[in-house]
Every structure is written in structure tokens, then in C-alpha cells.
Structure 1
Amino acid sequence: MTFAQFSDMVPKCTKPRLTPAAILDVIMANYSRSLPGNPVGVQVEVTVQDVMELSVLSNSFTADIWFSSIWYDPRLAYSHLDDCRQNLSFDDRFEKLIWSPNVCIVNTKSAHVHKSPKPNVLLMLLPNGTIWLNYRIRVQSPCSMNLERFPIDTQYCHLVFESYSYNTASVSVNWMDNPVTVLPEISLADFDLSRYRTSRHTEVYKAGEWYRLTVELEFTRKYGFYILQLYVPTYISLFISWIAFCIDTKALPARIVLGVNSLMSLTFQFGNIIRSLPPVSYVKAIDIWMCTCVGFIFASLLELAFVAYQDKKLILKSGKSNAAISTLVSYLKHFEPYHEVASPPPPLAIDEKKMMSRTPSTVTNPSKSELDGLDTTDLEEEINEYRKLAYARKKFRLLDFGANVDRISFIVFPLSFAIFNVVYWTYYLQDVRIPTWN
């Protein structure tokens, strides 16, 4: 039943009889603060006026609410005294003179009645004895914080009402038909108050059973701030680290600077976000994102190290081959005058297959009998040409190997990250809220 329905129960006016003070004197003359009847039905209604803060560090929210209790006490009826007066309004002083169910919020961390300038308490008495008691209070209550989906998360906060002084045998507490009202101008920096739901159940204590009313508020995080301050910068850092794949493999310092700077930037951004969160033992969505991004940048640095190592290994092999050929040329100089070797005639055409078919032992360790039947001048020219050809080939292999690895990485890294994005955003953007809420 709503308050308007209670008001409709007031009889039609015929003529005024007494003043408010006289009515109060009459109804309070023989009034006792004892329980009016068993059990007394009490209806509760809550209006959320404003939500100032929702803190993930303290697992609580702070709000201003109007909290109303309505019950019927026939001893306070005055319709027989004045059927023209619709209601009598009092402040908190009259509340202390009558019986009340003492409905309170039992799960608060702190609560106080606003005093601006006097206590914000309204007690309204209807002619039929119905009492409407309203408080305007600021309350700090706990929230069930779960940051596994942060920053695309939804948090739930609770207000729990009970009659503190009376169990189910004395007072029956219920929600009104429209139990919760949320004012439209409520706005938080990080959250939207999206939905609410109410429930009623019986709580068992050592002293007996109590009716418990619960209102659960659903807060959905506004993640636009984190898109701009976290996700977009991480995208940029990753793209910058991939630019290193387009830089020549010889420009090793430039490639290292790009990778290391991207890694440091990512770590700094992650630290700024984590500083505003409580330490929890489970993995959050932001942890998965940041660890994956760091892994991609670290993998790009490993790719750089691998290419540099392979380049160094090929250079060392090329140096050993040149040393073997130089040894052969020095050996030939013992069989021809130096000036003839040093000033050879124009180079002849080289039979490349012939040179490539020679075994290393023949080139590096020729026997004297083999050398006696050769024109050392022609052989030296062929060896010089072979050395140039071998060096050119190894240099090409060296450059081509690093370019191929970079070319493959430039495709594999963005493609892998795109697949990760599809999986990540598909999972975390799905609506996991309870569908049966208001």
C-alpha cells in the first residue's frame, strides 16, 4: 500500500472541532509507548537522492537517501476529533514520545541524519492513526567488489533493513509497492547506477527470527576513461615497437631504442592504473591485457636479438672462409715470383660450377703435385674471383635472412594481436548481468 492509499482512507470532512495542539493533548493523554498490537505491519520505502562515492579501495559506497517507515497505530487516530484535518506533521521530538518499529540499516559502516540546520526527520500522522516516519541520512555501506573484469566491470552494493528491536513475532517488515526510487540527476565520475532489485527473507539470530529487507544497487563502470588513458596508449606503444621490423637490420641501436622505450612506456601506464586499485589475489582483465602487450613487445625484442645473433654468426663464418682462401694464395706465392702474382693479367671467365665442385680439402689443403700442374697466375685469379663471389653470396644471405625474419614478424605479430583483441573484447564486452533485475 502506498502513502497516497493511506491518505485515501481518511474520512470526508464535515466540520473542524479542535486545534492541532488540542488534538495532540487528547490522543497523548493516555498513550503508552508499548507495542500497539501483535504483529505490527511496517512498510519500508527508500529514495536514493545522491551517490557521492563508490570506492574500490574501501569496498563501500556513500549515498544520501530518504528512508521511510509506515505503520498503523490506532491509539493515535484523531478522525473522531477533527475529520477536516488531512494530517499532522511533527519533527524528531515527537518521535521520542510514541512507539516506533525502530527500522534501521544494519549493514552500514557509518550513518548519520542530516542536520541542516535541524535534524532532517519528518513524522506525519494521518487521521486514521497511520504514521509516516521519514529520515534523510548519509550512509556508507559495503559493496561486493569483484574486479576480475576491471575496467569493464559491474559492482553491487547493498542496503539491509531490519527492525532492530522487534523480531517476527512483534513486527512484520515488508517493502511498499514501489520500494525504491532513484532520482535521475544522480551522476558519478566512474559509475552509472544502472539497476536495482529488492528482496525479503528471514534472518535467524540467537534471540529469534527477524525479517530482513535488502536493496541491491548495480553500478556499471564508465570505461571510456580507461579506453583513452590505457588501451589507446598501449596500442600506440605496440605499433611503435613493430616499426622496428621495417628498419634495416644493421640499425641495431635504433631498433633497440624503439623496443625498450615502448616497454618502459607500457610499464609506466600500467603502474598508474594499478596504483588506484586494491591488492587482490585474482587476475583482472587489465592484468591480462597488460601482460599480453608486454609479452608482444618482449617478443619483438627477442626477434631483434635472434636476427642480430644470426647476423653475427654468418659474419664469423664468412671471416673463416676468407682466411682459408688467403692461406691458399700465400702458399701459391712460393711457386711464382711475387710480382707475377701481385700483378696478374685481366681476369678470365670463371666456371662457377667447377669452382663450387671443389671440395674444401682441395682448396684449403692442396697437395704439391696438384699445384705443379696448374698455372698459378690463372688459379689465383680464379680464387680471387671465387672469394669475391663467395663473400657476395654470404653477404646477400646475411642481409636476406634478417629481412625475411623481419618480413614474417611484421605479418605474424599484428595478426596475432588482432586475434587476441577479438577474443578479449568479445569475452569482456558481453553482458553478464543478472537478467531478472528491474
Structure 2
Amino acid sequence: MANQSTFTSIFSWQVFIQSLRQIRMSLTLTCYMNLSKFPFDQQDCGMKIMSYAHRTDKIMLHWLTGENEPVEIEPKVSLPQYAVTGSTVADGVEQYIPGNFSYLTVDFHLERLLGFYLLGAFIPSSGLVVVAWLSLWIDPVASPARVMLAISTLLALITQSNLLKSGLPKVAYITAIDIWLTVCQLLVYVILLEYGLVYVLYTTGGMTSNKRCTDRNLDKNMQMDITRCPASSKMTSFERAEPQTTLTNNPKRFMYTDGIMERAPESGMFQTQYGSRREKKISLTETSAYIGFGKRVDKVCKVTFLGIFIIFAIIYWKTYYF
């Protein structure tokens, strides 16, 4: 009779332990993530189970081994930004001051989904950079259209970057998406600086051309005034030569034959008050040089700018994704 009662008590204790193993628990866990490769990051979120009061001499924890996996993930369960690719389990003993305690660990492998960031960050920013590149094909004379197009794309990139960062944890290091958006903004800045250089070159060339035209008009008006007011035959040669000497500061410019004032031919190095032919030729050369250099800068930037962006995109995606 005594043996039967002992057997009954042992059986009841085993049933009690079995009921504890089947208890259901709901946990809210925190996972520490490294976002340096965001949004191409892969995270390992772990969970550790350990007895609080019982040492290894009273309880040992082990994962069940057999046909079924010790940790099963429901296929219907999905996360909005992550895909659960698997899990890794382990067990062991950890030593503390009160003694040794058995523990179980499980690491869930998470891979971030790129769909949202492709549609919300990478494709729009790439389109804005291409739009800024198209501004290089606008005539530099049309400064309002060219400047407004570049500034609009730059403001759109800044707004997009702020919206994305507002939904992310505040971290002290640079993430992968920060590098992408920063380089896109720098490229648009370079386009604005390039147009500033081209505009200065065109403006300088235009001012030189306008000055040359003004000098030519003044020279033409001077010749018309001399034609309309010929020297009087009653004036002496000295009186007829004096006003012209005052205007030109060169008494050898005019020749007098039989009381008639004639203009002497100019030599290659002769210079008048309003510029000689050589000065006009130099002015025309400088004008063409300024505008020609501005056109060359625009032409080079049309090719190199898009090439730099494509090379950067290839290196970026090969580094972080492939």
C-alpha cells in the first residue's frame, strides 16, 4: 500500500511539470540594431531564457531535438519591413556569484525589405538628379528657367531627406541612405556652381562685346561729326589742325594738302582715342574666348555629370546590396 501511494505522488509531480512546460507566454522584446547599412541591413534579434532562482543542480534547460525544429515560426506571420529568414538556437551554462545557471538562447534572422525605400527614396532621388542634369541643356542665357529648375530639385531632395530621417531612430553615425541622399544633393549643388561659372563667363563676354559695339558707335559718330563740319578754307593750317590735335592727342593723324584736311592711313600699331583696329580685334577675340570657354564647360559637364552619377550608383549598390 505504501509503494502504491509513492508511485501515485511521483506520477502527479510529473504531470505538474508537464503542465508548466506547456504554459503560454506573450513577450515584448527589444532588439538592439546596427543601422550603418540601412536600408540594406540584416539584423539578428536574440532572446535568452534563464531560470531566476534555480541553479544547475536543480534544473537544466535544453532544446528539444528530433524531427521538428525547436523554434517554429508561423508562416502567416509577417513583419511590415522585415522578412524572417530563419533562427538559430543554443543552450549553455552561465556562471554568476550565487552559482551556475542554465540558459537557452534563440536568434531570429531578419532581412529588411527594400520595396518602400525603392519607391520612396531611391527612385525619386534618382529622378530629381536626372532632372537637374537636364537643366544643363537649357541655354545659359535663359537664367531664370535654369536656376529655378536646379533650385527646385535641390529643395525637393532636402525635403525628402528630412521626411525619411524623421521616421528613423536618431543615431550618431552615418547610414547608407544618408550617403545616397547627400551625394545626390552635392551633385545638384555642383550643377548650380557650374551654372554660376558659365553665367559669369557669358556675362563677361557680353560686357566686352557691348563695350566694343559702344566704341564702334562712338567712333562712327565722331567721323560723322567731322564730315558734317568740314574745316573752313579761311582757317589757317594751324587753326584747322589744333581742334583735331585736342581730340586725338596725336598731331600726326591728319595731313593737309592745299588747305584740305585729309586723314592719314593708320599703321599696324597706331591707336586712336576710341581704339584702333587692333584693339577691336583683340576685344572680339576676348569676347569669343569667354563665351567659347563657357560653352566648353557646359559641354563637358553634360557628359561627366551623368557619368559620375552612374558610376556612383554602380559602386553604391555593389557595396551595400550585391
**What is the TM-score of this pair, normalised by structure 1?**
0.58
Alpha-carbon separation, structure 1, partners of 2:6 and 2:208: 111
SS at match of 2:252: helix
- Say if 2:292 is the partner of 1:400: yes
Alpha-carbon separation, structure 2, partners of 1:339 and 1:209: 120
Alpha-carbon separation, structure 2, partners of 1:384 and 1:216: 87
Q: Which structure 2 residues correspond to residues 111-126 of structure 1 after superposition, within 5 A?
A: 123-124=18-19
- Aligned partner of 1:238 among 129, 135, 151: 129
By percentage of residues, which structure has more helix? 2
- Cα distance, 1:386 vs structure 2: 8.0
SS at match of 1:283: coil
What is aligned with 2:227?
337
SS at match of 1:265: helix
- For 2:49, the aligned partner's letter is F
Q: Which structure 2 residues correspond to residues 38-437 of structure 1 after superposition, within 5 A?
A: 75-76=10-11, 98=16, 123-124=18-19, 133-177=21-65, 178-322=69-213, 336-338=226-228, 367-372=250-255, 376=263, 396-430=288-322
What is aligned with 1:112?
none
Alpha-carbon separation, structure 2, partners of 1:304 and 1:365: 43
Deviations 1:92-146 (A, max 9, x none): xxxxxx5x5xxxxxxxxxxxxxxxxxxxxxx55xxxxxxx621222211121211
SS at match of 2:56: coil
CA contact (8 A) 2:46 2:105 kept: yes
By percentage of residues, which structure has more strand? 1
Alpha-carbon separation, structure 1, partners of 2:253 and 2:277: 20
SS at match of 1:337: helix
CA contact (8 A) 2:202 2:290 kept: yes
- Cα distance, 1:189 vs structure 2: 1.4
C-alpha change, 1:371 and 1:281, in structure 2 (3 Å) is: farther
Query: Matched residues, percent identical?
Result: 24
Unaligned runs of 5+ in 1: 1-24, 32-74, 79-86, 89-97, 101-122, 125-131, 341-363, 431-438
- For 2:43, the aligned partner's letter is Q
- Cα distance, 1:228 vs structure 2: 0.9
Alpha-carbon separation, structure 2, partners of 1:142 and 1:428: 26
What is aligned with 2:240?
none
- Cα distance, 1:196 vs structure 2: 1.1
CA contact (8 A) 2:205 2:291 kept: no
- Cα distance, 1:319 vs structure 2: 4.1
CA contact (8 A) 1:161 1:214 kept: yes
SS at match of 2:205: helix
Q: How many residue pairs end up in the alignment?
A: 289
- For 1:147, the aligned partner's letter is L
Alpha-carbon separation, structure 1, partners of 2:263 and 2:228: 11
- Cα distance, 1:243 vs structure 2: 1.1
Alpha-carbon separation, structure 1, partners of 2:277 and 2:6: 124
C-alpha change, 1:318 and 1:166, in structure 2 (3 Å) is: same
Unaligned runs of 5+ in 2: 231-246, 267-271
Alpha-carbon separation, structure 2, partners of 1:339 and 1:391: 31
Alpha-carbon separation, structure 2, partners of 1:148 and 1:198: 26
SS at match of 1:411: helix
Alpha-carbon separation, structure 1, partners of 2:254 and 2:212: 20
CA contact (8 A) 2:253 2:264 kept: no
Deviations 1:201-229 (A, max 9, x none): 32222211212211010111111111011
Alpha-carbon separation, structure 2, partners of 1:368 and 1:218: 97
SS at match of 1:278: coil
Alpha-carbon separation, structure 2, partners of 1:27 and 1:234: 76
- Cα distance, 1:402 vs structure 2: 2.7
For CA contacts below 8 A with separation 6 or more, give which structure has more relative contact order.
Answer: 2
Alpha-carbon separation, structure 1, partners of 2:104 and 2:315: 40
CA contact (8 A) 2:212 2:280 kept: no
- Cα distance, 1:155 vs structure 2: 1.6
- Cα distance, 1:321 vs structure 2: 4.1
CA contact (8 A) 1:332 1:376 kept: no
- Cα distance, 1:200 vs structure 2: 2.1
- Cα distance, 1:274 vs structure 2: 0.7
SS at match of 2:72: strand
- For 2:296, the aligned partner's letter is N
CA contact (8 A) 2:208 2:287 kept: no
Kindly report the root-mean-square deviation, in angstroms, between the aligned alpha carbons of the 2 structures.
3.4
CA contact (8 A) 1:196 1:217 kept: yes
